[in-house]
Amino acid sequence: GAGTLDEIRERGYAIVAVANEPPYSDIKPDGFVTGAAPDVARAVMKKLGVPELRSQLVPYGSMIPALQARRVDMATSGLYIKPKRCESIIYSEPDLCGAEAFAVAAGNPHNLKTYEDIAANPELFMTTCAGCAEEAYALERGVKPEQIKVFTDPPSGIKMLQQGRVQVFALSGLGTQDLLKKTNDPNLELVMPVKGVPMGCAGAAFNSADDDFRDMYDKALKELKESGEFASIVAPYGFSAEATLAVKRDDFCPGN
Amino acid sequence: MDAVLEYAPLLWRGTVTTVELTLASAALALVISFVVGLARLSPYRAVRWLAIVYLEFFRGTSALVQLFFMYFVLPLWGIFLPPILAGIIACGCNLGSYGSEVVRGALQSVAKQQHEAAIALNYTTYQRYRYVLIPQAIPMMLPSFGNLLIELLKLTAVTSLITINDLTYMSQIIRAQTALTLEPFLAILVIYFLISTVLIGGMKWIERRTSKGRNTIVRQGA
Amino acid sequence: MFAGTRAQAVNADLRGQMQNIIEFQDVSKSFGSLQVLDDLNMHVVPGEKLALIGPSGSGKTTILRILMTLEDISAGEILLDGEPLWHEMRGGKRVRASEHHLRKMRDGVGMVFQQFNLFPHLTATENIEQPQVLTHRKSKAAAREKAAEMLSVVGLVDKRDHYPHQLSGGQQQRVAIARALAMDPKIMLFDEVTSALDPELVEEVLNVLRKLAEETDTTMLTVTHEMNFARDFADRVLFFEKGKIVEAGSPEDIFTNPKEERTRSFLRKFLTGIN
Amino acid sequence: MFAGTRAQAVNADLRGQMQNIIEFQDVSKSFGSLQVLDDLNMHVVPGEKLALIGPSGSGKTTILRILMTLEDISAGEILLDGEPLWHEMRGGKRVRASEHHLRKMRDGVGMVFQQFNLFPHLTATENIEQPQVLTHRKSKAAAREKAAEMLSVVGLVDKRDHYPHQLSGGQQQRVAIARALAMDPKIMLFDEVTSALDPELVEEVLNVLRKLAEETDTTMLTVTHEMNFARDFADRVLFFEKGKIVEAGSPEDIFTNPKEERTRSFLRKFLTGIN
Amino acid sequence: MEWSWSVAYDVMPRLAAGLIVTVQATLVGALVAYVLGLALAILKMSPYRLVAWSSYWSSEFVRRTPLLVQLYFLFYVLPDLGIFLEPFAAGVIGLGLHFSTYTSEVFRAGIENVPKGQWEAARSLNYSTIQTWRHVVLPQAIPPMIPPLANYLITMFKETPLLAAITVVELFNAANIYSNSHYKYLEPMTLVGTFFLLVSIPAAALAIRLENAFRRKA
Ligand SMILES: Nc1ncnc2c1ncn2[C@@H]1O[C@H](COP(=O)(O)OP(=O)(O)OP(=O)(O)O)[C@@H](O)[C@H]1O
Ligand SMILES: Nc1ncnc2c1ncn2[C@@H]1O[C@H](COP(=O)(O)OP(=O)(O)OP(=O)(O)O)[C@@H](O)[C@H]1O
Ligand SMILES: [Mg+2]
Ligand SMILES: [Mg+2]
């Protein structure tokens, strides 16, 4: 309830669920977690009087149960704001927005530009993460569940693509871009943006009972955005501050 | 490989977590082994049955399923276990069920005459187990415990799937950060092998220590 | 004291006048359908040395095991010092003995087994010391002193820190005797204590028993196939067959002039084998 | 035929004139640092029945095992029917025998072991039948017929469908003998074939061997501790000690008038034990 | 947390399909484990020191490292070396390879329990090596191996959820995928646990009876 933030302040640090997906999150060899989402959260929480973030790595599929079970105080790092999710958790105002992307074989032999293109060709397989927005996009647009092979982590997904186990890899645009850059495989190619799906916007996510905490967070986030500090945090990671400033939570989940 | 070496601190922390997880679960499993193993030999039917239910439950279901149950389902009932604790409990309970069979088997293989000698000397049931049967059974348990310890070490890899930052999980992080596959996996396979080899060596050392000076094979009569 | 005890014991006339230390009243014992003891009646006076002899399977071991509470009885009653062994009164009713009652009764009884049954993980001294500490709550020092004393009785002072597997069979058996004696039982039971030993080791154990029979006033029951030893050791010899006493009497009577044909035929084999 | 063979065998003068079926030439055998056979020379003519006697560890079993190619030799040469057992010529060079060569040589040799070593998962008949089918490529029917014949030789027709564990030790050993005989070996080796048997079963097996010695012209080497049997069975007795032949001769010579002191002292023990 | 039958009903068909995959993976994996285990046992007993030594240590390496990591390795690394395995194939090979290190010990013990005299008898009857194995050693070694091998079958059955990590949609993964998209954990996970118990407890009881049957025979 209302006391969550007080508890965190007393404790001196917040426990934050972070996914293992650059550039949303970026884990340094010494274990320090940065990346666009944790950095934003860190700045916001500092404003709220919490000097430290302790991050816990949680796969996307497990973030909501982790919040519900209060294993973490909040989840950051690119959990898209989706109506279905809003039934279970509450979000801050959007903090990171980006287009969707596919990774495909060089030259895009199947000419895949949209999820509908995948649905139209039941021979093809795609991979994305368990419980991710991309899985929902695909299913909503007619891709059959049998066509989706869920990967345990994004590099495994890219591996599957390289090995031809799947024909398309779907994830957030910047995540995909980052991964392709690191993989540095000339046989792969980026398709961005994927048409026909909304720009994905993520926010910090909270347990549904923590609306007070969330509102305080929103206020601090707003200050951050207005001061321009926000842009200076996310830009180096490749995110566009304007895109984020242009949207509101209510665009995705009215009344959340 | 350089990229992996750069991430050596992460691997090191994963190694520490894995070892801690293994040792803590081993301690729990040891306690459970004895409690459940002894309960199997209880004169009270109800106690024996409880022990069997425990045994069959933890032996009969997959450790991964147990882990997910503890991590995701128990909190829904308000039982909140931090991941590392859920990992320790799941691994410990799982291995404890196997260990209890080892304890029971070893105790049952102590000669019946040793029971009778203890009764003839008017030992209480507790004293009989504490001072006569268990001390003789322990050397018989050690080799099996050694094998179970390796099983436990391997089981801890599964906890990576409930986000415990053990060695296996660290390898996934390194993969995400570097987009390498062969090197991180090879590295942790070797690390696991080294840990288990050290553990086996340690158990062998304990076996030698406990068998020193006494010969557990009782030479009775001609 | 010692002389008196012996005299009392052999004198059958006196027996009625003193409290029997052991009394079997119509005791029966079956294992499943096999009746091992059959309405057995038997009395032992304090200090008496008894030898139980008889063919294999006649129930001798079973008698000792019942006295040691390792087996219970199917019917009848056993009194130790006048108190029922296998029953007790609770709430005015006669019920089967509880573990608590058995523990109390066991306190006065010690047993030495055919297979020694030393604790293999303890040294000779520890084997003798531990039961005193655990069941008599003696201090470790007192128990250790008693252990040393008992080891000297059985002539094994120099082996005190050896583990059982480092001792010969005869030495192990002597430690087992010392362990039982150290508990100061009023009744000592010996079940074929030499039959697991190599022939050359038998005498050393029997000599210890002979010495004990002479020197202590503990009541002793021994099952044995060594007739010469039984003759030296016993005040009274009981000859069993099929769970019944066929004949009882002084060693002289039994070994030189048995009344029953069955006894005679049984002893013929043994006596020719021995001399 | 039979009479002639025996006569040849005992007649030492004739020996040089016929091909030896077995010839040991300066054979040595060591296990690690332990020398078990020491420059051994030995000759056996076809049809001869040999008894190998001597104290434990003298190398008797080793000789049989080498002939059966269960052990190889360290030095020297063994000829079977004039052909080297443990060596062969390949490309003009003398090399250690290949498995192929050994299989060929083994074909003429059969062995019966102290522990019978019947195949426990096969019946008596199948035990005899299978080797004929597998190694001699006989038809199943022919092998079965031979098995029946052999079982009648050893007097076990009525046990033909029993598994080894349903047979007494003596019966098992007789099946083992039948199994070896069914392969029609030129040389039969018997290694203390009765020493794993209870005393009352020994005679039934020895009688089978006595009968075989009389009725067939197979060359037979038997290691035995049964001196009475050795006397009945053998044409010639070899007395071994420490891997060397101490004395060799007819049973009469060896058992009634041994030349060597060592032989005499060894036999004294046995002969008093037997009569 | 309330149990919801509608969720249970909803997830059931997926679980049933997953169970089929689980059973298939177990059986095929066990077959691989048995065949490979036997081969490994024979290699470990090889008279050639180098063969025996290297097969022992490679088997120990596999035994002492986690199956999960081995699965990742088979699935994600081998293709780089040109060996491309379907998820199911990689899964059963991983399972089989891992458990072959256990079954090889069962085989080794079973073979070593055949008395030396049996080998010598076969040799004295001039059996070839293959005949000795085929007609003498294996017929005696195999029956006592059956109960422990059956026990490993049950163990493998319980390890199949690890195949989820390499995208095999077996029982556990079927539940997990459902949970991740519906945010329902109680029903699917409870059902999976129940399914496991329903299969493994009777199987364990059967294995015990098998064991007793063989003990009586011995
Ligand atoms: N626990 C038991 N279960 C079934 N039968 C038993 C048991 N203990 C003893 N018996 C049987 O009871 C009979 C008497 O046994 P007991 O050991 O008392 O004989 P014994 O006179 O001591 O013979 P021995 O001289 O051979 O030691 C024997 O037939 C024995 O087989
Ligand atoms: N495989 C082996 N490894 C080492 N030593 C062996 C081996 N086989 C036999 N020996 C040793 O070789 C020596 C001769 O053994 P062998 O079995 O030939 O004697 P033996 O004359 O048959 O004696 P016995 O009458 O006791 O059977 C013995 O000292 C024995 O211990
Ligand atoms: Mg007895
Ligand atoms: Mg021999």
CA distance D264 to E201: 71
Domains of chain E: 5-217 (1.10.3720.10)
Q: What is the CA radius of gyration of chain A?
A: 18
Residue D40: CA atoms inside 13 Å, Cβ hemisphere, count? 34
CA distance A22 to A182: 10
Three-state secondary-structure class, residue C164: helix
Cβ distance B220 to C69 less than 8 Å, yes or no, reads: no
Q: Which of B124, B217, B220 is the closest to C115 by Cβ?
A: B220
Determine if ligand 1 sits within 6 Å of the CB of residue C56.
Answer: yes
In a domain, D44, yes or no: no
Cβ distance A70 to B175 less than 8 Å, yes or no, reads: no
In a domain, D123, yes or no: yes
Q: Kindly give the number of the ligand 2 atom that is closest to the alpha carbon of D225.
A: 25
Q: Which domain holds residue B87?
A: 2-221
Residue D17 clears pLDDT 60, i.e. is over it: no
In a domain, C19, yes or no: no
- Written in H, E and C, the secondary structure of B129-159 is HHHHHHHHHHHHHHHHHHHHHHHHHHHHHHH
Distance C196 CA to ligand 3 centre (A): 12
CA distance D112 to D201: 16
Chain C nearest CA to B125, separation (Å): 10
**Chains E and D touch, contact meaning at least 3 pairs of CB atoms under 8 angstroms apart:** yes
Chain A residues whose CB is inside 8 A of the E76 CB are: 156, 159
Strands (E), chain D: 22-31, 34-44, 49-53, 75-80, 83-84, 87-90, 93-96, 109-112, 187-191, 219-223, 236-241, 244-249
Write the DSSP string, A133-152: HHHHHHHHTT--GGGEEEES
In a domain, C269, yes or no: no
CA distance E172 to E67: 16
Per the structure block, which two tokens stand in for B127? 């004293």
**pLDDT of res. D204:** 87
**pLDDT of res. A145:** 86
CA distance D80 to D86: 10
Neighbours of B, requiring at least 3 CB pairs below 8 Å, are A, C, E
Higher pLDDT, B76 or A251: A251
**pLDDT (mean) for E84-102:** 94
Query: Mind listing the pLDDT tens digit for each residue in D114-159?
Result: 999 999 999 999 999 999 999 999 999 999 999 999 999 999 999 9
**pLDDT of res. E2:** 76
Distance D35 CA to ligand 3 centre (A): 49
CA distance A16 to C124: 63
Nearest chain E residue to A150 by CA: give it: E167
Q: Does B6 touch chain A (CB under 8 A)?
A: yes
- Written in H, E and C, the secondary structure of D32-81 is CCEEEEEEEEEEECCCCEEEEECCCCCCHHHHHHHHCCCCCCCEEEEEEC
In a domain, C235, yes or no: no
Which one of A15, A21, A26, A27 makes the best mutation probe of the B interface by having the most chain B beta carbons within 10 Å? Answer: A27
Cβ(D180)–Cβ(D166) below 8 Å: no
Query: Mind listing the pLDDT tens digit for each residue in A165-216?
Result: 899 999 988 889 988 988 889 999 999 889 988 888 899 999 999 999 999 9
**pLDDT of res. B187:** 93
Determine if ligand 1 sits within 6 Å of the CB of residue C123.
Answer: no
Dihedral (Cα; C160, C164, C169, C175), 10-degree rounding: 40
Distance D155 CA to ligand 4 centre (A): 27
Residue C269 banded pLDDT, cuts 50, 70, 90: low
Q: How far apart are the first and last CA of chain C?
A: 34
- Residue C266's contacts (CB-CB under 8 Å, 6 or more residues apart) are C53, C54, C55, C239, C241
- Residue C68's contacts (CB-CB under 8 Å, 6 or more residues apart) are B116, B119, B120, C106, C109, C111, C189
In a domain, C159, yes or no: yes
Determine if ligand 1 sits within 6 Å of the CB of residue C216.
Answer: no
Query: Mind listing the pLDDT tens digit for each residue in C233-264?
Result: 999 999 999 999 999 999 999 988 889 999 98
> What percent of chain D has a predicted confidence (pLDDT) above 70?
91
Determine if ligand 2 sits within 6 Å of the CB of residue D57.
Answer: yes
CA distance B173 to A31: 10
**pLDDT of res. D8:** 42
Query: Mind listing the pLDDT tens digit for each residue in A132-153?
Result: 889 889 999 999 988 998 887 8
Distance E130 CA to ligand 2 centre (A): 29
Distance C56 CA to ligand 3 centre (A): 7
In a domain, C46, yes or no: no
Three-state secondary-structure class, residue A56: strand
**pLDDT of res. C92:** 85
Nearest chain E residue to A159 by CA: give it: E76
Q: Which residues partner with C94 through β-bridges?
A: C89
How much is the ipTM here? 0.75
Query: Which A residues, 69 through 88, put their C-beta within 8 Å of a C-beta on chain B?
Result: 69-71
Which residue numbers in chain B have pLDDT < 50? 216-222
Distance C55 CA to ligand 3 centre (A): 9
Residue D31 clears pLDDT 90, i.e. is over it: yes
CA distance A207 to A70: 7
* Atom 7, ligand 2: residue with shortest CA distance: D31
Query: Mind listing the pLDDT tens digit for each residue in A6-35?
Result: 999 999 999 999 887 888 888 888 888 889
- Residue D208's contacts (CB-CB under 8 Å, 6 or more residues apart) are D153, D154, D155, D174, D177
CA distance B28 to E92: 32
Cβ distance B60 to E201 less than 8 Å, yes or no, reads: yes
Cβ(E49)–Cβ(B172) below 8 Å: no
CA distance D182 to B138: 54
Determine if ligand 2 sits within 6 Å of the CB of residue D224.
Answer: no
**Chains B and C touch, contact meaning at least 3 pairs of CB atoms under 8 angstroms apart:** yes
**pLDDT of res. B209:** 86
Q: Does E83 touch chain A (CB under 8 A)?
A: no
Q: Does D110 touch chain E (CB under 8 A)?
A: yes
Alpha-carbon distances, residue C134 vs B127, C68, C143, D206 (angstroms): 7, 18, 10, 61
Distance C175 CA to ligand 1 centre (A): 26
pTM over 0.90: no
* Atom 5, ligand 1: residue with shortest CA distance: C31
**pLDDT of res. A232:** 92
Distance D244 CA to ligand 2 centre (A): 14
Total structural domains within chain C: 1
Mean pLDDT over all residues of chain A?
A: 89
Cβ distance A135 to E181 less than 8 Å, yes or no, reads: yes
Cβ(C206)–Cβ(C194) below 8 Å: yes
Determine if ligand 2 sits within 6 Å of the CB of residue D62.
Answer: yes
Substitution site in C34, C53, C192 for ligand 1 pocket (most atoms within 8 Å of beta carbon) = C34
**pLDDT of res. B5:** 84
**pLDDT of res. C271:** 57
Residue B37: CA atoms inside 13 Å, Cβ hemisphere, count? 26
Three-state secondary-structure class, residue C69: coil
Three-state secondary-structure class, residue B50: helix
What number of other Cβ atoms are within 10 A of residue A186's Cβ? 6
CATH of the domain at B80: 1.10.3720.10
Q: Does D68 touch chain E (CB under 8 A)?
A: yes
Longest Cα–Cα distance of chain C, Å, equals: 58
Query: Mind listing the pLDDT tens digit for each residue in E124-182?
Result: 999 999 999 999 999 999 888 988 898 899 889 999 999 988 889 899 989 988 887 77
Q: Which domain holds residue C141?
A: 118-184
**Chains C and E touch, contact meaning at least 3 pairs of CB atoms under 8 angstroms apart:** no
Per the structure block, which two tokens stand in for E112? 């070593």
Interstrand relation of D75-80 and D83-84 (parallel, antiparallel or unpaired): antiparallel
Total structural domains within chain B: 1
Report which of E29, E148, E153 is spatially closest to residue E96, judged by C-alpha positions: E29
* Atom 28, ligand 2: residue with shortest CA distance: D57
For chain B, count helices (H), then strands (E). Answer: 10, 0
Cβ distance D70 to E120 less than 8 Å, yes or no, reads: yes
CA distance B171 to B184: 5
In a domain, D175, yes or no: yes
Report which of C223, C229, C227, C234 is spatially closest to residue C192, judged by C-alpha positions: C223
Determine if ligand 1 sits within 6 Å of the CB of residue C34.
Answer: yes
Q: Does A232 touch chain B (CB under 8 A)?
A: no
Residue D252 clears pLDDT 80, i.e. is over it: yes
Cβ distance E192 to B185 less than 8 Å, yes or no, reads: no
Cβ(C150)–Cβ(C128) below 8 Å: yes
Q: What is the CA radius of gyration of chain E?
A: 21
Chain A residues whose CB is inside 8 A of the E183 CB are: 64-65, 68, 88
Three-state secondary-structure class, residue C83: strand
Residue C53 belongs to what H/E stretch? strand C49-53
CA distance A239 to A245: 11
CA distance D31 to A226: 92
- Residue B13's contacts (CB-CB under 8 Å, 6 or more residues apart) are A31, B165, B170
Chain B nearest CA to E64, separation (Å): 6
**pLDDT of res. A131:** 76
Mean pLDDT over all residues of chain D?
A: 88
Alpha-carbon distances, residue D186 vs D20, D77, D95, E131 (angstroms): 12, 20, 25, 23
- Written in H, E and C, the secondary structure of chain E is CCCCHHHHHHHHHHHHHHHHHHHHHHHHHHHHHHHHHHHHHHHHCCCCHHHHHHHHHHHHHHHCCCHHHHHHHHHHHHHHHCCCCCHHHHHHHHHHHHHHHHHHHHHHHHHHCCCHHHHHHHHHCCCCHHHHHHHHHHHHHHHHHHHHHHHHHHHHHHHHHHHHHHCCCCHHHHHHHHHHHHCCCHHHHHHHHHHHHHHHHHHHHHHHHHHHHHHHHC
Q: Does B69 touch chain E (CB under 8 A)?
A: yes
**pLDDT (mean) for D208-218:** 90
Cβ(E41)–Cβ(E195) below 8 Å: no
Substitution site in C40, C61, C189, C242 for ligand 1 pocket (most atoms within 8 Å of beta carbon) = C61
**pLDDT of res. B100:** 95
Query: Mind listing the pLDDT tens digit for each residue in E59-77?
Result: 999 999 999 999 999 988 8
Cβ distance B221 to C113 less than 8 Å, yes or no, reads: no
Report which of B119, B110, B136, B217 is spatially closest to residue C131, judged by C-alpha positions: B119
Chain B residues whose CB is inside 8 A of the C130 CB are: 131
CA distance C213 to C231: 12
Alpha-carbon distances, residue C153 vs A225, B79, C148, D45 (angstroms): 95, 64, 9, 70
